[in-house]
Chain A
Amino acid sequence: MKIAMTVNGKSVSREVSDNTLLVEYIRDHLRLTGTHVGCDTSQCGACVVHVDGQAIKSCTMLAASAEGAAVTTVEGLAKSKDDLHPMQVAFKENHGLQCGFCTPGMIMTATDMVARYQAQGKEITEDAIRHELEGNICRCTGYHNIVKSIADGASKMTTV
């Protein structure tokens, strides 16, 4: 089947088999390899992208279900090569990543969670960040610096 959507601001259309997962569409068909696959059971969150502004696990959605949607992957987060999203900057400045494999999913989850809290006018506490990360697994950092990164990124996101 042929499906069409907007990915990182660009219209894309591909012929795919109807059981193609969104993550396969992104990685194998569009060759955007920043979105990763770390498990088979929707547990690890390495594949998180935004679909119509909401964080979703792209391993758990058919590409066909995203027909007509606006998809943002980690590659689409920065305004330009030198103008990174404040959450990306926060992960670097707080050493929020080591091997980097879970990082795109962490950043996409983080930007979504902060945006949700800010839209509701709620402060995002450390406890809230830890709770919100229940769908993302990191094996390297012990989460300490990821939590710090997200708190820092949240403060920077309010100023943009």
Chain B
Amino acid sequence: MSEGIGARVLRKEDKRFITGKGRYTDDIVEANQAYAAFVRSPHAHARIIAIDTSAAMAIEGVETVLMGPELVGDGIGNIICGWGVTSKDGSAMNMGAWSALATDKVRYVGDAIAIVVADSKSIAKLAAEAVVVTYEELPVVVGSVQALAKGAPQLHDNAPGNLIFDWEIGDLAPTDAALATAAHVTEMDITNNRLAPNPMEPRSAIATFNEAEDHYTLYTTSQNPHVARLVLSAFYNVAPEHKLRVIAPDVGGGFGSKIYIYPEEIACLWAAMKSGRSIKWTSDRTEAFLTDAHGRDHVSTAKIGFDKDGMIVGLKVDTKANLGAYMSLFSSAVPTYLYATLLSGQYNIANIYCNVQAVYTNTVPVDAYRGAGRPEACYVIERLMETAAREMGMDPSELRAKNFVTSFPHQTPVIMAYDSGDFAANQKQAQDAADVAGFAARKAEAASRGKLRGLGYSNYIEACGIAPSAAVGSLGAGVGLWESAEVRVNPVGTIEVLTGSHSHGQGHETTFAQIVAERFGLPTENIQIVHGDTDKVQFGMGTYGSRSGAVGMSAIVKAMDKVEAKVKKIAAHVLEAGEDDIVIEGGAVKVAGTDKQMLWHEVGLAAYTAHNIPAGMEPGLKESAFYDPTNFTFPAGCYICEVEVDPDTGVTEVVQFVASDDFGTIINPMIVEGQVHGGIAQGIGQAMLENVVYDDAGQQLSASYMDYTMPRADDLPNYSVHHASTTCPGNPLGMKGCGEAGAIGSPPAVINAITDAIGNNNLSMPATPAAVWTALQDVRSKLAAE
């Protein structure tokens, strides 16, 4: 079956994008549409003393200016974090109040204060600037370590010391004991730099209120429109669920940042009701830097101990996670259950302990960004392993290999039970593809050109397909993390699949069609994937955490199982055969071993005419299913990066990047490779280029593309991408997920390569030319001093 599982089918969705016929939120215009702009705090921390809207209201074309107290007075609820994390002393996390429009205090630059509604974008912006806010400025703190220090400025009254939670996992005493008796201990201070997600399509929303129907419609740039509707209804009280339709049309990338329900969507819906106008808001890029949830921002100290044979005896990590000014939707889960649970890496480690303190600061809220916690874990363990190998004089790949988990299932000391994998196979494949054996010669050749060449590994494991609902519920999640699907076979035999997953670049319209094509022997052109509209799709948990394959497609498989059962019943009835003798192949439904058959569309027609179906059977051919995962899935792999450093300038070039991934079953290798390419690019971006920078006053110095270094084509290499897969036993297709691996695995490979080249393990991300040059000078001064 040329279009089935494993085929490199070209994407069905491409034609509209390459011809300019995509339909993104900002492309849509509603009747009677007005435009919103937000009045935002220019201060990182301040009390609002007074707001004067008279000058703004006097501008021709301004419809209304609405503020926080009125929003709260109308019963609009505070923005919440949907995952409760409990501190080690048993206390609940300290969630500070976050109103969509500030009422008394602002806590970061960009905090929304008022929504201005006007006839045009430019009038709205002009009027927003004409709103005069009087502030009493308050002291500011931007770093997590500083925010925890005695006497630091306090952000929220109910979070003394700015501490949101003080959480732990693993066993402290045995870990300390193991480290105390270790033959070798490697200890490092490790910072994971703050990133801005930067999907190329800025966030956008169009809210419409139909007064006659008491009904709202929201077009929005969302990765999970169903969750948006649930949260907007159940928690923010914007409208009851059946009176709110959320549509996420074409969405131009997300990377996590479009999971959350932001103040702007809430304010636009509320203002649409207040003003009677449809309201469009589209973020500009600087506004995106100031308001889209950031990622990462961990400061850690980590210790790993080995016995005399190089076997790991214990790992202890202390992490301070900067969550910004307010708790975003999944912000508590990222530095806890999505981070510390992966610290065991690919290794047998008997003793692990991790303490995480989550902290408020006067910065943009931090939440999941591609990888979400797992890149931070991978960076800790993989920098430790590489550095330890160098300290012990061992080959880094051999040190890893002797500690690999080799039998499955494997229960780590930090919750996760790895179900499958062959880490040695991935490492071998990557080493062969990278020609590690020839590295010494390449290094010598580079040296002859005055360049320092280095090679670094990263053997990552991550957890996807999040996750069994009962399990995440027991860990504090406020939602179940199943997925739903509906498979509708039309009377003419074509198929619509309605899925709760959302595609914003992942190519679901193609890959989801491929699994249906495979099952029923139909061409993908006869299969339409429908997603992103709460009026069409029954429900769904959306796309993040690389869950659309392992969870979303599993739901489709479950629905197809039901369709297949009914098809067989109908065919058996019509063809007067036993159900067990019916087979579906090549677009026909046949009685095995005979020439009796119905064409696929004939079964569809039979189901809908219902003239001749088994007694008691309901007409029609449409089935739905909810699939709840049985476990996380565990994609893993080995990445090998080679760099060349110019010692005079610190300028570093990634000259080779090899990936060997285990994603389980792959539906479309072309699309999977594309996901890996993009993930690696973001990982190299984090390692070498990207950094959100705040000054001490809480001003974001990197809030435009003039200042924040987005990776460009000439910053990046071609990637050599390979697969050595084991089947995931936990879901019907054997899939593990591929969306985040590249971003998770690549940063340590890059930094390990650069530190290898310069001979100094003390290097932080982003490894800019200045940082690399400085680290190189440190080594040289040390050598000179010796």
Task: Indicate which residue in B10, B250, B506, B682 contacts A139 across the interface (CB closer than 8 Å).
Answer: B682
Closest to A129 in B: B713
Q: Which residues of B contact A37 (CB under 8 A)?
A: 26, 202
Closest to B8 in A: A95
Least Cβ distance of B110 to chain A in Å?
15
Q: Which residues of A contact B714 (CB under 8 A)?
A: 127, 130-131, 133-134
Q: Which residues of B contact A142 (CB under 8 A)?
A: 677-682, 711, 716, 719, 742
Asked whether A140 lies within 8 Å of B705 as measured between CB atoms, the reply is no
Task: Indicate which residue in A84, A95, A102 contacts B11 across the interface (CB closer than 8 Å).
Answer: A95
Number of A-B contacts (CB under 8 A): 179
Whether A141 sits at the interface, judged by CB under 8 Å, is: yes
Point out which of A27, A78, A100, A103 has the most chain B C-beta atoms below 10 A from its C-beta. A100
Whether B225 sits at the interface, judged by CB under 8 Å, is: no
Q: Which residues of A contact B441 (CB under 8 A)?
A: none
Whether B718 sits at the interface, judged by CB under 8 Å, is: yes
Q: Which residues of A contact B200 (CB under 8 A)?
A: 36, 38, 44, 46, 99, 101-102, 137-140
Whether B695 sits at the interface, judged by CB under 8 Å, is: no
Q: Which residues of A contact B255 (CB under 8 A)?
A: 139
- With A99-B252, A145-B677 as known contacts, state yes or no: A41 contacts B19, CB within 8 Å: no
Q: Mark A132-156, 1 if CB is under 8 A from B, else 0.
A: 0110111111111111000000000
Whether B450 sits at the interface, judged by CB under 8 Å, is: no
- The residues in B between 242 and 266 inclusive whose CB is less than 8 angstroms from any CB of A are 250-253, 255
Whether B785 sits at the interface, judged by CB under 8 Å, is: no
Q: Which residues of A contact B199 (CB under 8 A)?
A: 99, 101, 139
Asked whether A32 lies within 8 Å of B713 as measured between CB atoms, the reply is no
Point out which of B21, B284, B678 has the most chain A C-beta atoms below 10 A from its C-beta. B678
Asked whether A41 lies within 8 Å of B705 as measured between CB atoms, the reply is yes
Whether A10 sits at the interface, judged by CB under 8 Å, is: no
- The residues in B between 10 and 40 inclusive whose CB is less than 8 angstroms from any CB of A are 10-11, 13-24, 26-27, 29
Closest to B28 in A: A33
Query: How far, in whole Å, are A145 and B536 apart by their CA atoms in the complex?
Result: 34
Query: How far, in whole Å, are A37 and B285 apart by their CA atoms in the complex?
Result: 9
Asked whether A133 lies within 8 Å of B712 as measured between CB atoms, the reply is yes
Closest to A105 in B: B200
- The residues in B between 229 and 252 inclusive whose CB is less than 8 angstroms from any CB of A are 250-252
Query: How far, in whole Å, are A136 and B670 apart by their CA atoms in the complex?
Result: 23
Query: How far, in whole Å, are A80 and B196 apart by their CA atoms in the complex?
Result: 39
Asked whether B705 lies within 8 Å of A44 as measured between CB atoms, the reply is yes
Q: Mark B273-287, 1 if CB is under 8 A from A, else 0.
A: 000000000001110
Q: Which residues of B contact A33 (CB under 8 A)?
A: 20, 22-24, 26-27
Least Cβ distance of B223 to chain A in Å?
11
Least Cβ distance of A158 to chain B in Å?
20
- The residues in A between 43 and 59 inclusive whose CB is less than 8 angstroms from any CB of B are 43-44, 46
Closest to A148 in B: B718
Least Cβ distance of A38 to chain B in Å?
5
Asked whether A137 lies within 8 Å of B505 as measured between CB atoms, the reply is no
Task: Indicate which residue in A100, A129, A134 contacts B252 across the interface (CB closer than 8 Å).
Answer: A100
Among A60-68, A85-93, A117-125, the stretch that binds chain B is A85-93
Task: Indicate which residue in B201, B673, B680 contacts A36 across the interface (CB closer than 8 Å).
Answer: B201
- With A41-B706, A139-B200, A142-B719 as known contacts, state yes or no: A134 contacts B712, CB within 8 Å: yes
Q: Mark B687-708, 1 if CB is under 8 A from A, else 0.
A: 0000000000000000011100
Task: Indicate which residue in A46, A91, A93, A140 contacts B678 across the interface (CB closer than 8 Å).
Answer: A140
Closest to A39 in B: B285
Whether A98 sits at the interface, judged by CB under 8 Å, is: yes
Query: How far, in whole Å, are A37 and B202 apart by their CA atoms in the complex?
Result: 8
- With A34-B19, A40-B704 as known contacts, state yes or no: A99 contacts B251, CB within 8 Å: yes
Task: Indicate which residue in A34, A92, A126, A136 contacts B21 across the interface (CB closer than 8 Å).
Answer: A34
Asked whether B677 lies within 8 Å of A34 as measured between CB atoms, the reply is no
- With A88-B18, A97-B17, A99-B200 as known contacts, state yes or no: A39 contacts B713, CB within 8 Å: no
Task: Indicate which residue in B201, B673, B678 contacts A38 across the interface (CB closer than 8 Å).
Answer: B201
Whether B124 sits at the interface, judged by CB under 8 Å, is: no
Q: Which residues of B contact A131 (CB under 8 A)?
A: 713-714
Least Cβ distance of B264 to chain A in Å?
17
- With A41-B705, A91-B18 as known contacts, state yes or no: A99 contacts B718, CB within 8 Å: no
Q: Which residues of A contact B253 (CB under 8 A)?
A: 98-99, 101, 139-140
Q: Which residues of B contact A92 (CB under 8 A)?
A: 10-11, 14-15, 18
- The residues in B between 648 and 674 inclusive whose CB is less than 8 angstroms from any CB of A are 670-671, 673-674
Asked whether B20 lies within 8 Å of A74 as measured between CB atoms, the reply is yes
Query: How far, in whole Å, are A17 and B769 apart by their CA atoms in the complex?
Result: 45
Closest to A93 in B: B10
Asked whether A146 lies within 8 Å of B20 as measured between CB atoms, the reply is no
Q: Which residues of A contact B224 (CB under 8 A)?
A: none
Q: Which residues of A contact B548 (CB under 8 A)?
A: none
Least Cβ distance of A8 to chain B in Å?
10
Query: How far, in whole Å, are A91 and B21 apart by their CA atoms in the complex?
Result: 15
Closest to B202 in A: A38
Whether B710 sits at the interface, judged by CB under 8 Å, is: yes
Task: Indicate which residue in A41, A73, A130, A144 contacts B285 across the interface (CB closer than 8 Å).
Answer: A41
Least Cβ distance of B258 to chain A in Å?
11
Whether B198 sits at the interface, judged by CB under 8 Å, is: yes
Ranked nearest first, the 5 interchain pairs of A and B with the lowest CB-CB distance are: A34-B20, A100-B17, A101-B252, A142-B681, A99-B505
Name 24 A/B residue pairs within 8 A (Cβ), A-sorted.
Answer: A33-B20, A37-B26, A38-B202, A39-B704, A44-B200, A46-B200, A73-B20, A88-B18, A88-B19, A92-B14, A92-B15, A98-B506, A99-B251, A100-B14, A100-B505, A103-B18, A134-B714, A136-B712, A139-B198, A139-B710, A142-B677, A142-B679, A143-B681, A144-B719
Given A99-B252, A140-B674: 15 more A-B contacts, CB < 8 Å = A34-B20, A36-B201, A40-B284, A75-B19, A75-B21, A92-B10, A98-B253, A99-B253, A102-B252, A104-B20, A127-B714, A137-B712, A140-B200, A142-B681, A143-B716
What is the interface of chain A, defined by CB distance below 8 A to chain B? 19, 27, 31-41, 43-44, 46, 73-75, 77-78, 84, 88, 91-93, 95, 97-104, 107, 126-127, 129-131, 133-134, 136-147
